[in-house]
Amino acid sequence: MSFASPRDAVHKPRELWIGAAQLGPIARDEPRDAVVERLLKLLRQGAEYGCELVVFPELALTTFFPRWILDEGGDGPISGDTTELDSYYEVEMPSVATQKLFDEAKRLSVGFCLGYAELTPPDSAGVRHRYNTYVLVGRDGEIEAKYRKVHIPGHEAHEPWRQFQHLERRYFEESPDGFQVHDAFGGKIGMAICNDRRWPETYRVMGLQGVEMVLIGYNTPLNYAPDPSQNPLAAFHNHLVMQAGAYQNGTWVVGVAKGGIEEGVESLAQTAIIAPSGQIVAQATTIGDELITARCDLDMCDRYKKTLFDFDRYRRPDMYSVITDPTAKSLVDSVARDRPDFDRLTQGDTP
């Protein structure tokens, strides 16, 4: 491997050369080693293109296992035989299977961001925790930062009426850590995972920490059982939220899919690299393993951060208190369908 590419000649100081490594399906019985070989291929391709950082999607080492009930079920916590369930989690990182990826990153001097299911060692109370996790690995092959998913979608108990399950709320705890921004790769880098990207708070919490690039991996089924009217809008919504998050915070966003038809479930692809203007500057055109790249000028963030979205000058934090108010719930509950003024307002229509 050599860097006889034109990168060194043209690379600008505040540019970050990014590879977004979309993955196609991972079969339920596909061994870790085989998956890691796919990741290595994409990492090497990234190195050839001069990338400094290659971003893999959420849960990039296994099939999307929350689509099955894998324990005894019931309303309570995980119980019974958890052998298969546990097999999808990593108990250390690097693990035996992923060590190759760390070694190759160091050899190539290409960092990466990797999503996986994390099963922690027992805490002081003897409890092991399960998180949906991202690690950011530097160009020296060392872990620079870890992020655990804050917004966990789906449901807690087995719901047999669904064509497939989305048991993330059974298999993952909500992050206790929140959104941090890290000095890495010459910029301010943040991470988010899948459903996080639909919440404006995700980008804003990092935007207020000066984030310049948000890395987001996702697995998004094209069939949303609770409301199928959203199905044809999946691709639109995916880009809408990431483009708005980028623009409204003056940050780059790298959205990376695991797409295609995995174990009979079709998921969104459309991996995209989005500029602080909200513009999509690179987009995947397949539903399989595919690397897309962009040269991201981190100084472009200031075009928005120092003008229209100069937070210090224009934001009104004193007007936003309900956003962090844990009792806001009651406000929503008070929406009454049978409003006293409803009749008054809808009558008088007839001449």
The residue from 67, 130, 170, 204 that contacts its own copies (CB under 8 A) is 204
Instruction: Mention every residue, 6+ apart, whose C-beta is less than 8 A from residue 189.
Output: 136, 145, 181, 182, 183, 211, 212, 213, 214, 215
175 binds its own copies (CB under 8 A): yes
- Active-site annotation holds for 194: yes
Pairing of strands 252-257, 213-218: parallel
Distance from chain centroid for Cα 169: 16
By CB under 8 A, which span of 31-39, 76-84, 207-215, 264-272 interacts with its own copies?
A: 207-215
Nearest to 176 by CA among 156, 155, 152, 198: 152
Nearer to its own copies, 25 or 187 (CB): 187
Nearest to 93 by CA among 67, 65, 60: 60
Catalytic residue among 194, 258, 290, 305: 194
Nearer to its own copies, 125 or 322 (CB): 322
What is the nearest approach in angstroms of its own copies to the Cβ of residue 80?
26
The two tokens of residue 275 are: 């500029």
List the interface residues with its own copies, window 70-129 (CB under 8 A).
Answer: 109
The amino acid sitting at 26 is I
List the interface residues with its own copies, window 324-343 (CB under 8 A).
Answer: 324-326, 328-329, 331-335, 339, 341-342
Distance CA 90, CA 65 (A): 13
Catalytic residue among 15, 51, 52, 58: 58
What is the nearest approach in angstroms of its own copies to the Cβ of residue 291?
19
Pairing of strands 53-55, 15-22: parallel
311 binds its own copies (CB under 8 A): yes
List the interface residues with its own copies, window 276-305 (CB under 8 A).
Answer: 277-279, 303-305
323 binds its own copies (CB under 8 A): yes
Catalytically active residues are 58, 149, 194
